[in-house]
Amino acid sequence: MGKVGLVVAAVCAVGSCAVAGVLVGRRIRSRCKWGRALDVLSEFEEGCSTSTARLRHVVDAMAVEMHAGLTSDGGSKLKMLLTFVSRLPDGNEKGTYYALDLGGTNFRVLRVQLGGRRSTIIRHQVEQQPIPQHLMTSTSEELFDYIAMTLKQFVDREEGDFDQEPDRSRELGFTFSFPVKQTSVTSGVLIKWTKGFAIEDTVGKNVSQCLEEAMTKKGLDMRVTALVNDTVGTLALSHFHDEDTVAAVVLGTGTNACYVERTGAIIKCQGLLTDSGGMVVNMEWGSFWSSHLPRTSYDVELDDESTNRSDQARL
């Protein structure tokens, strides 16, 4: 019995050592992984850190570029595009309105009924649809025909809860989140595609006209009454709830900002008058940030991956 007990004890000891070895090994590997993770985070933090002096330099540089962009077209890394939006919603709007939001691989259509009292949205309905991959590199006609068809299907499913005046053309707000040179509050010419879109025959065209022609073909009685990008739309909604809001920033697939500027400060449009004395300016500041903030290895890798995906989409 003594020998048996000794053998059992030895076996148990060996087993315990084995288990302990496995646990210790796992802990060591876990610590090694955690250590590598901490190293990556430390490297990322160091690469993204910006000193106060650097931030002040960025502020000064942006002020210079903003002034240059308001003085003339093409003279700044900030496009400072005119939107012709001189008045923002104030919460007193009434009626049923439609909106189309195109700014990426998905687009949204929505219907909203406003009650005329500040911050009062009586009801709203939203539907989101993906853009088929092939339409992102096809033709302008095919893209807008698809959008108009989806919009018509949405309108045809209009619920009775939404009050719509008879014999009145439906009004559509068109959020088009790509660089556009506005020619009026309802129209604008596409400067270039981004976010994976590469439809050459749309560049230089009035995107509102493209959409309205497609809607007409689909028998949809609707007109574009406002053409804006997502930053202007964000500013409009915020101003609807709080009239002190004067600027908006979007951080998403891309980044951009807009703000309300005095018309007297927009030198490149001398003589431009608005009843409010101001106009929303679309900064299109993406190029500015890419040249003024530090780039880490992660930025480079992300940009390369995005470029590869865009190239594949074009193919």
The number of CA neighbours under 13 Å toward the Cβ of 239 is 21
152 included as an active-site residue: no
Cα(222)–Cα(157) distance, integer angstroms = 15
The pLDDT score that the predictor gives to residue 2 is 47
Listed in sequence order, the residues at least 6 apart from 122 whose beta carbon sits closer than 8 Å to its beta carbon are 113, 114, 115
Cα(95)–Cα(120) distance, integer angstroms = 11
Count of domains for the chain: 1
**Number of helical (H) and strand (E) elements in the chain, helices listed first:** 7, 11
**In-domain check, residue 75:** no
33 included as an active-site residue: no
Domain that holds residue 232: 81-294
The pLDDT score that the predictor gives to residue 159 is 60
**In-domain check, residue 246:** yes
**In-domain check, residue 250:** yes
Separation in Å, CA 213 to CA 137, 216, 224, 297, 298 = 20, 5, 11, 46, 43
**In-domain check, residue 20:** no
Q: What is the CA radius of gyration of the chain?
A: 28
The pLDDT score that the predictor gives to residue 312 is 60
Amino acid making up residue 212? E
Catalytic residue among 79, 101, 145, 230: 230
Q: Which CATH number covers residue 182?
A: 3.30.420.40
**In-domain check, residue 290:** yes
Catalytic residue among 77, 94, 195, 299: 195
Query: By C-alpha distance, which of 197, 101, 180, 217 is closest to 140?
Result: 197
Consecutive sets of 10 residues in the chain, 315 residues long: mean pLDDT of each? 40 40 54 77 77 88 94 90 91 88 88 78 88 93 95 81 61 91 93 90 96 94 92 92 92 87 88 81 87 72 71 56
The pLDDT score that the predictor gives to residue 16 is 42
**In-domain check, residue 56:** no
The alpha-helical segments, DSSP class H, found in 49-88 are 52-71
The pLDDT score that the predictor gives to residue 275 is 75
**In-domain check, residue 49:** no
**In-domain check, residue 136:** yes
Cα(308)–Cα(302) distance, integer angstroms = 10
Beta bridge partners of 7: none
The pLDDT score that the predictor gives to residue 94 is 86
